[in-house]
């Protein structure tokens, strides 16, 4: 039965891919015969369980020593009923096992930059394959929070600033994970857009903004991806903690979206027994040994005191059983000790990074480099001779296949004790950038200059090191400067988008650019960065946190073996003061109030007529694409069909991401919103018609009075290569 259900979900996903951003009804899953059969099976098991057996499903035990495989949590199964154990693991960019080797894949934000739904599906499947081999039944990897503030410390774990892009990519990742019969959890639900005071800060957001922006990625992921679990966040939301917020969990998630799976807390995000259970929390991620709220004694007391009902307890357990059945986990539980094909995983990591790199600048056609014409190459900075950047915290991977730089180098931010994996945002690939460049240009002299001290990876470049780098650049044909912006969970939010750790990376770029007009900058980051040197360098690549295949991927793009096709999922501002949350002094509020309402990301820059440095959806190519023949038709049910032609009229094969935006005729709406896109591969002189379907919901606003979506007729359609590069428009 679970196989058929998976195929049904996958079929819906393929339908969405063909139709653009189609929104199926949440009622479909509940009314389907497959779902009904699964609920009946769950009820049959539930009736055979004792009260004590039911209670053991309410807490996932931590620390990882209690979890086989070195995971983050563990729920014991019931062998007599053939219900398997569930061990879970953090899995934002790969399996987060604390005891087993895992592959470090590119950051989630990088996958968003690919704008490739199939790649996101494959990303989820690749990580799930390793989770299975390590014995984990649940992956805690699907982040759906939006980039409200581009300084957010966990921005690399999420999918950018637009709810449609984030929701579609999250849905596909979820489908990919659960195609391997691994239960996917999406997080952090909701209003968790910053690290500052994340454990108790109160997010204040009005209902319309909440529905149209911050809830929407999760709504799309629930409708299309059917995750087994949703993880509620640490913060308060309009007064109540997210994990005991009745409106969030019961009204929205379980009632409006008809979510049938588990609501699990983040670790330490549960603050009550009765209120949390009645508000919709189904599972606490707790300490073992240690205080918990959904423990046996407190829950039994609440039952005896009629503070919670037996029916609600049964509902909590039924949701666990349904999630296990619908994902196939109950009949195909993973076992620790499986074999992982690390070679194949590294190849996928490299491919994913190649599809995600964004070419931001290419003056005079500096790129791609021609190996036969380049005799000397200077590579400078960011440990490019040994490592690439990767996000820290639970989104990191403990044991990358090839290791990590262990030193913290006097790192000032971060509350996690010691210089361990949690705070080391560097991974050592088999082939670092310098070696990969040498492989691409075997006849060239490739030399490295910069900070070589692995034990002090955040030490500022000395004046002598900068001078040596500039001198090396001056006597080289090409200079490649690699800069890095470390960030992560527990690191706190960035105080500025200016490059930091070391803080004088800008001086390094300036010095090299002054010495060599053929300077290329490669940025490794999980956030937008400021680039005061932008107009002084010939080319810029945004490589994100590239994963352990990043060395070869970056080299392949630099030399044209891969034509870059990534597009920005976040806006890069010209100045700190341009971002919507900067305010008067740039200090992030401990209790954020979303006064900018619907104007975040590109919507803010459009509404305020601020020119960004690089706009949302922007990305260059080594070829050129032309757009023509726009056609817009509306059906009787208000579904809009947008069709147009894209032609590769440049010299080489490449992929373009045409984007469709709508201007909604409502005074409170931003000038434009993204409603669809497609990634199109084209050979030189090849044309293709792109057809995208825009649902009535995507042409609607949230009506607080009606407590539902209100269709707005007469939207204007814009088709472009980015949010600012509009090529076609029509009614």
CA atoms within 13 A of residue 169's CA, in its CB half-sphere: 32
Tokens 């693991």 -> residue:
89
Give the HSE-up count for residue 319: Cα atoms under 13 Å, Cβ half-sphere.
25
The ranges of the chain annotated as CATH 3.40.50.1700 are 353-570
User: Which residues of the chain have a pLDDT value below 70?
Assistant: 1-31, 63-68, 288-290, 398-424, 452-458
Domain 623-730 fold: Immunoglobulin-like (2.60.40)
pLDDT at 405: 55
Task: Specify the CATH number of the domain 2-17+31-326.
Answer: 3.20.20.300
CB 46 within 8 A of CB 317: yes
Catalytic residue among 122, 266, 493, 578: 266
Single out the residue of 683, 673, 684, 688 nearest to residue 718, CA to CA: 673
Specify the pLDDT at position 10. Answer: 35
116 is catalytic: no
- The two structure tokens encoding residue 311: 């029916």
3-state SS assignment for residue 634: strand
CATH for 353-570 (3.40.50.1700, 3.40.50.360, 3.40.50.300, 1.10.357.10): 3.40.50.1700
CA atoms within 13 Å, Cβ hemisphere of 446: 20
Q: Note the pLDDT of residue 28.
A: 40
pTM for the whole structure: 0.94
**Rounded Cα distance, 229 and 36, in Å:** 18
Q: Residues spanned by CATH 3.20.20.300 within the chain? A: 2-17+31-326
Q: Where in the chain do CATH 2.60.40.10 domains reside?
A: 623-730
Find the helix packing angle between 117-133 and 163-178, rounded to 10°. 40
pLDDT of residue 724: 98
């Amino acid at each position: 039965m679970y196989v058929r259900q998976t195929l049904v979900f996958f079929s819906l996903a393929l339908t969405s891919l063909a139709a653009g951003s189609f929104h199926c009804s949440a009622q479909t899953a509940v009314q389907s015969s497959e779902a009904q059969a699964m609920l009946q099976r769950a009820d049959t098991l539930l009736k055979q369980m004792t009260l004590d057996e039911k209670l053991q499903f309410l807490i996932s035990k931590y620390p990882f020593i209690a979890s086989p495989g070195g995971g983050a949590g563990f729920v014991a199964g019931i062998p007599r009923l053939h219900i398997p154990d569930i061990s879970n693991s953090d899995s934002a960019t790969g399996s987060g096992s604390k005891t087993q080797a895992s592959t470090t894949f590119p950051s989630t934000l990088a996958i968003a930059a690919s704008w490739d739904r199939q790649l996101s599906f494959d990303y989820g499947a690749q990580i799930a394959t390793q989770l299975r081999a390590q014995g984990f039944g649940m992956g805690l990897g699907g982040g759906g929070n939006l980039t409200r503030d581009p300084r957010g410390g966990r921005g690399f774990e999420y999918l950018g600033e637009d709810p449609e892009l984030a929701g579609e990519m999250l849905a596909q990742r979820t489908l990919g994970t659960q195609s391997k019969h691994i239960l996917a959890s999406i997080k952090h639900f909701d209003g968790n857009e910053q690290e500052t005071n994340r454990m108790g800060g109160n997010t204040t957001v009005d209902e319309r903004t909440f529905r149209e922006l911050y809830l929407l990625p999760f709504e799309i992921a629930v409708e299309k991806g059917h995750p087994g679990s949703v993880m509620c966040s640490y913060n308060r939301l309009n007064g109540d903690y997210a994990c005991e917020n009745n409106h969030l969990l019961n009204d929205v998630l379980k009632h409006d979206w008809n979510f049938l799976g588990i609501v699990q807390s983040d670790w330490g995000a549960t603050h009550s027994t009765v209120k949390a259970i009645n508000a919709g929390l189904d599972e606490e991620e707790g300490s073992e040994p240690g205080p918990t709220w959904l423990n046996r004694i407190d829950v039994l007391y609440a039952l005896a005191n009629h503070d919670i009902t037996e029916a609600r307890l049964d509902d909590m357990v039924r949701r666990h059983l349904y999630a296990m059945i619908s994902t196939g986990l109950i009949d195909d539980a993973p076992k620790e000790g499986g074999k992982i094909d690390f070679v194949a995983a590294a190849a996928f990591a490299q491919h994913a990074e190649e599809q995600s790199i964004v070419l931001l600048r290419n003056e005079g056609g500096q790129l791609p480099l021609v190996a036969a014409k380049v005799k000397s190459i200077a590579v400078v900075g960011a440990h490019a001779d040994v490592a690439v950047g990767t996000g820290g915290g639970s989104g990191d991977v403990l044991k990358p296949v090839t290791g990590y730089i262990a030193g913290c180098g006097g790192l000032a931010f971060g509350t996690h004790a010691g210089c361990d994996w949690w705070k080391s945002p560097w991974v050592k690939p088999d082939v670092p950038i310098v070696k990969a460049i040498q492989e691409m240009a075997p006849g060239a002299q490739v030399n490295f200059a910069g900070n070589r001290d692995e034990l002090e990876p955040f030490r500022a470049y000395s004046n002598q090191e900068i001078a040596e780098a500039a001198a090396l650049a001056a006597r080289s044909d090409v200079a490649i400067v690699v800069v890095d912006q470390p960030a992560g969970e527990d690191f706190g939010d960035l105080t500025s988008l200016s490059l930091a750790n070391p803080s004088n990376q800008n001086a390094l770029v300036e010095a090299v650019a002054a010495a060599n007009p053929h300077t290329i900058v490669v940025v490794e980051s999980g956030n937008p960065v400021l680039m005061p040197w932008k107009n002084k360098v010939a080319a810029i690549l945004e490589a994100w946190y590239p994963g352990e295949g990043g060395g070869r991927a970056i080299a392949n793009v630099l030399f044209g073996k891969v034509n870059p096709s990534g597009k920005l999922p976040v806006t890069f501002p010209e100045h700190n003061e341009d971002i919507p949350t900067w305010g008067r002094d740039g200090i992030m509020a401990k209790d954020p109030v979303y006064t900018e309402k619907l104007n975040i990301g590109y919507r803010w820059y459009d509404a305020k007529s601020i020119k960004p440095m690089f706009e949302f959806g922007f990305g260059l190519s080594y070829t050129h694409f032309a757009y023509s023949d726009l056609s817009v038709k509306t059906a009787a049910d208000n579904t809009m069909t947008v069709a147009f032609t894209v032609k590769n009229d440049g010299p080489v094969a490449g992929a373009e991401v045409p984007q469709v935006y709508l201007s909604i005729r409502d005074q409170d709406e931003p000038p434009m919103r993204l409603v669809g896109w497609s990634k199109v591969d084209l050979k030189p002189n090849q044309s293709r018609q792109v057809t995208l379907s825009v649902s009535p919901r995507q042409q609607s606003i949230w009506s607080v009075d009606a407590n539902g979506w209100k269709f707005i007729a007469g939207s204007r359609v814009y088709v472009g290569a980015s949010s600012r590069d509009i090529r076609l428009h029509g009614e």
